[in-house]
Amino acid sequence: MVHPELNNRRCRFLVTGGAGFIGSNLALELLASGQDVVILDNMATGRIENIEELKAFAGKDGTEGTLRFIEGDMRDLAVCREAVEGVDYIFHNAALGSVPRSVEDPVTSNDVNVAGMVNLLTSAKDAAVKRFIYASSSAVYGDSVELPKVEGSEGNPLSPYAVTKVVCELYAEVFERTYGLQVIGLRYFNVFGPRQDTESAYAAVIPIFVSSLLKGKAPKIHGDGETSRDFTYIDNVVDANIRSAFCAPEATGRAYNIACAGRVTLNELYGKIATLLGKEDLKATYGPERVGDVRHSFADISCAEKFLGYTPKVDFKEGLDLCIDWYKEHLA
């Protein structure tokens, strides 16, 4: 099904991080809607299987768009200039994610996330790209205890990763004000779904729980399990990106919460996944809280609804069912 915002349009999109979880899902939707896609990924955390799947899908019949894959690093300005050539819109999802990784290695997280962002913004400006949509994070809310999280009420960042996302938002705003490049930031809240990595030491909580339980092992929960998150299915994030490319110019120059506007504790999450997998007998173990983790995450999405026309397409329960089905097929 063609995304409504892409109906009767043919554009060229750059998707950075297109070999990763969010980027590959976004690229697949663009290709299915008959768009031309360029992927830039250095494969540091991306998966070649995702690229091969996208290559097999592109041009399969008369309805799919074209795909070009550039294996390169966005820290190289020349690579960024090559990637943006002839591009109408940029979806920037490449980054070194994970709070724990940034705590262990703040230098590389800053180098990739901040310097890479500036290179892409500069290349987009010089190439007169129509709009630049980039991935921010709920981590920017830091130590703010306000719930739900509302744009404009951010606290102090709690990790180097969070700092990089705050800086990226500042750079984006400056490039709009100074150079006229239209930018929109999307503050993702705990995205989950198909193609999310289960093997990395920095994997997200849902794939960790699912992978462990499918192997018959009880996973470890950091803290007491009452930490809560606004888990957001991947289809909602893909929809928000595409809407951001074509919304009114009045919506640009700011960042928006992209979430489901609800929250689930890790204990509740574990119980739901264990039940869906028939592993209720496996009880989770508990360990120390992780440095830099936010205690509660719950988004107000009214600004995204108003300016982007965004509403969650898939709620948490439906998304978890879909996610479990995918992992059963691909991991069992």
Model confidence at 291, pLDDT cuts 50, 70, 90, reads: confident
What are the distances in angstroms from CA 303 to CA 6, 152, 224, 240?
Answer: 22, 11, 32, 12
How would CATH label the architecture of 11-331?
3-Layer(aba) Sandwich (3.40)
What sign does the dihedral 164-166-167-171 (CA atoms) show? positive
With b meaning 16 or more CB within 10 Å and e meaning fewer, what string describes 211-226?
bbbbeeebbebeeebe
79 pLDDT higher than 80? yes
CA distance 211 to 213: 6
Average pLDDT, rounded, for the chain? 93
CA distance 66 to 37: 6
How does DSSP classify residue 105? -
Q: In angstroms, how far is the first alpha carbon of the chain from the final one? A: 29
* Phi, psi of 315, rounded to the nearest 5 degrees: -80, 175
Contact assessment for residue 134 and residue 168, using Cβ atoms and an 8 Å cutoff: yes
Percentage of the residues of the chain whose pLDDT score is greater than 70:
96
Residue from 89, 134, 161, 188 carrying the catalytic annotation: 161
CA distance 234 to 313: 10
For the chain, the structural domain boundaries read: 11-331
Q: Is the pTM of this model over 0.75?
A: yes
Q: Quick check: is 188 catalytic?
A: no
Two structure tokens written together for 60: 């399969």
Helix residue spans in 193-252 (DSSP H): 205-214, 234-246
202 pLDDT higher than 60? no
296 strand-pairing partners:
228
327 pLDDT higher than 70? yes
Query: Which position has the token pair 């041009």?
Result: 59
Contact assessment for residue 139 and residue 168, using Cβ atoms and an 8 Å cutoff: no
Contact assessment for residue 13 and residue 131, using Cβ atoms and an 8 Å cutoff: no
Contact assessment for residue 47 and residue 41, using Cβ atoms and an 8 Å cutoff: no
- E strand map for 147-304: 183-188, 191-192, 220-222, 228-229, 232-233, 254-258, 264-265, 285-287
Whole-number pLDDT of residue 201: 62
7 pLDDT higher than 70? yes
